[in-house]
Chains A and B, each alone.
Chain A
Amino acid sequence: MDSFFIITSLLKIVGILFVVILPMVSYVVYAERRVSAFIQDRLGPNRVGPAGLFQPIADIFKLLLKEDFTPRAANTFYYWLAPCLAVMPAIITIAVVPFGSTLFGVPMVIADVNVGILFVFAIASLGVYGIVIGGWASNSKYPFLGGIRSSAQMLSYELSLGLSVIPVFMLVGNLRLTSVVRYQIEHGWFIAPFVGDWINPWKWLLTIPMIVSFLVFMIAMFAETNRLPFDLPEAEQELAGGYHTEYSSMKFALYFLGEYAAMITGSAVIVTLFFGGWHFPGIPDGSHGWIFGLINIAVFFTKVTIVILFFMWIRWTLPRFRYDQLMRLGWLFFFEIALVNIFLVAAILPYIPKV
């Protein structure tokens, strides 16, 4: 039994990392370029292969073959360590996210830990170290400013990120992400409770704080993953590229990979918490046959893709916030909104008849 557990875990890790996350990152980069181009009335990369679909492969080769340059003034050890620190948390976070129901009786989550969301926050906030250390070790002004901005920004948004999901766990009753999905299957997705006991009017009253919670969480997630309305650490116009100015070749690629992997895991967490995870109304879970297990996984990643496309859509619509606006938004609005939201849910919660 133990060796079975180890082998399936290894298979899941290798599968999710090398079959799903890494190809997804490269194609998210491609999609980002195409979507941004389409939004700006351009065509984007369309030369390499049909519709430019081999562009990511060409990019990877280009990045691998570029000169790996280390500035003489940089602190070499930390300079080399920082890109790894940027990638690692983003990839580790996916471990606790259930990306499918079951496949041949094996639960499709790498580590079903009972601290679920705490683990996500704990690891995801380590991502800031990659940026801060990278900015510091480069020994150059612009990366340094980028690193400083990043640390301040992450600190401010971590708070609202944590507070905004508390209502979800007040309803679910524990922190395990699989039970969040389980709850949503029984009671309807938090954003749109159309399944389960959805006729209950209190349920619908509850969606209002849930939507607020979702909005705050998503906006905090934008800030957390350095996506555009809040991409101050890498503001090209102000900081000449921000924390990765001094990086080239594969080290720069690692930062890039870390950013997009963080985006994917962020979307995965959003999907799990608010959009019912791998659940879709009418599709049974993996215990009814392996084909449904695969469909559940496909549903999950389709939802993730939709959220990522929304990330991109936002990125190419909104301009960047000013630093003080960012701080004001984080501390004066989202923090308070998330806090009030918790009380609101707590006030509604006793009136919901237990099912």
Chain B
Amino acid sequence: MAVTVPRPRLTWRERLYLPAIVAGLAITFKHFKNMLLGRTKVTMQYPEQKWDSSLPEHYRGAPALVRDEDGRVRCVACQLCEFICPPRAIKILPGEIPSTDRFAKVEKYPEQFDIDMIRCIFCGMCEEVCPEQAIYLRKDYAITGFTRAEMVHDKEKLLEIGGVMHGVVLKWNEKK
């Protein structure tokens, strides 16, 4: 069914268009002026301003390995994270801790621990599954590189991101 849209009858002032044009110019000038005086809120200027200070506690950024207060790499190379990882981004090569070591009773340590950051989906399952509180998702989100090889975080890189974790259970202490 055809519907006839009623057109409003314009008064002569409206048909002159000039008042409307002037009103429009006034509006755009107001926006221009507010911008010039810095009163307008604009988008965050990303590389200069960052979210870092206001990221929530539960933010899931790049996964990282941590050391504890004793300076020990907490990972015991149980490979649970490697199993759980949905995109299979983690590769662990376990090694044996020599008997002369201070933490010899831990028995295993990761000789190699690679996380492919191209694959990682930041799901946090590795953190959840870890029985040793050794892997955490940190707040780094801008992970970039020029090559694929650069995007694979090796053990040193992961420890560097992770740093030292305080307040975790120290179940491998000599005293225990």
Query: Do A39 and B42 have beta carbons less than 8 Å apart?
Result: no
Query: Do A38 and B35 have beta carbons less than 8 Å apart?
Result: yes
Chain B 39-78 per-residue mask, 1 if CB under 8 angstroms from chain A, else 0: 0101101000000000000000000000000000000000
Whether A318 touches B21, Cβ cut-off 8 Å, given contacts A41-B40, A41-B42, A42-B42, is yes
Chain B 96-124 per-residue mask, 1 if CB under 8 angstroms from chain A, else 0: 00000000000000000000000000000
Query: Do B36 and A38 have beta carbons less than 8 Å apart?
Result: yes
**Interface positions of A from 153 to 177, Cβ below 8 Å from B:** none
Q: Which residues of A contact B27 (CB under 8 A)?
A: 317
Whether A35 touches B24, Cβ cut-off 8 Å, given contacts A41-B42, A43-B42, is no
6 A-B pairs (CB sep. < 8 Å): A39-B28, A41-B40, A42-B43, A43-B42, A43-B43, A317-B27
Query: Do B25 and A317 have beta carbons less than 8 Å apart?
Result: yes
Whether A317 touches B35, Cβ cut-off 8 Å, given contacts A41-B40, A43-B42, is no
- A183 contacts B by Cβ under 8 Å: no
Q: Which residue of B lies closest to A44 (CB)?
A: B35
Which of the residues A42, A43, A313 comes within 8 Å of B25, measured between beta carbons?
A313
In the complex, what's the smallest C-beta–C-beta distance from B85 to chain A, in angstroms? 38
Query: Do B31 and A39 have beta carbons less than 8 Å apart?
Result: yes
A40 to B21, CA, bound (A): 17
A42 to B42, CA, bound (A): 6
Whether A318 touches B36, Cβ cut-off 8 Å, given contacts A39-B31, A41-B42, A313-B29, is no
A39 to B24, CA, bound (A): 11
Q: Which residues of B contact A39 (CB under 8 A)?
A: 28, 31-32, 35
Q: Which residue of A lies closest to B24 (CB)?
A: A317
In the complex, what's the smallest C-beta–C-beta distance from A309 to chain B, in angstroms? 10
Q: Which residue of A lies closest to B22 (CB)?
A: A317
Sample of 13 more A-B contacts, CB < 8 Å, known A43-B45, A313-B29, A318-B24: A35-B32, A38-B36, A39-B31, A39-B32, A40-B31, A41-B31, A41-B35, A41-B42, A43-B43, A313-B28, A313-B32, A317-B24, A318-B21
Chain B 5-34 per-residue mask, 1 if CB under 8 angstroms from chain A, else 0: 000000000000000010011011101100
Q: Which residues of B contact A313 (CB under 8 A)?
A: 25, 28-29, 32
Q: Which residues of A contact B21 (CB under 8 A)?
A: 317-318
In the complex, what's the smallest C-beta–C-beta distance from B18 to chain A, in angstroms? 9
A313 to B33, CA, bound (A): 12
Q: Which residues of A contact B29 (CB under 8 A)?
A: 313
Whether A317 touches B42, Cβ cut-off 8 Å, given contacts A38-B35, A41-B35, is no
A89 to B119, CA, bound (A): 58
Query: Do A316 and B40 have beta carbons less than 8 Å apart?
Result: no
In the complex, what's the smallest C-beta–C-beta distance from B46 to chain A, in angstroms? 11
**Interface positions of A from 39 to 57, Cβ below 8 Å from B:** 39-43
In the complex, what's the smallest C-beta–C-beta distance from A99 to chain B, in angstroms? 28
From B31, B43, B45, name the one whose CB has the most chain A CB atoms within 10 angstroms: B31
Q: Which residues of B contact A42 (CB under 8 A)?
A: 42-43
Q: Which residues of B contact A58 (CB under 8 A)?
A: none
A316 to B28, CA, bound (A): 8
A41 to B35, CA, bound (A): 6
Q: Which residue of A lies closest to B20 (CB)?
A: A318
**Interface positions of A from 311 to 326, Cβ below 8 Å from B:** 313-314, 316-318
A203 to B48, CA, bound (A): 58
A35 to B35, CA, bound (A): 10
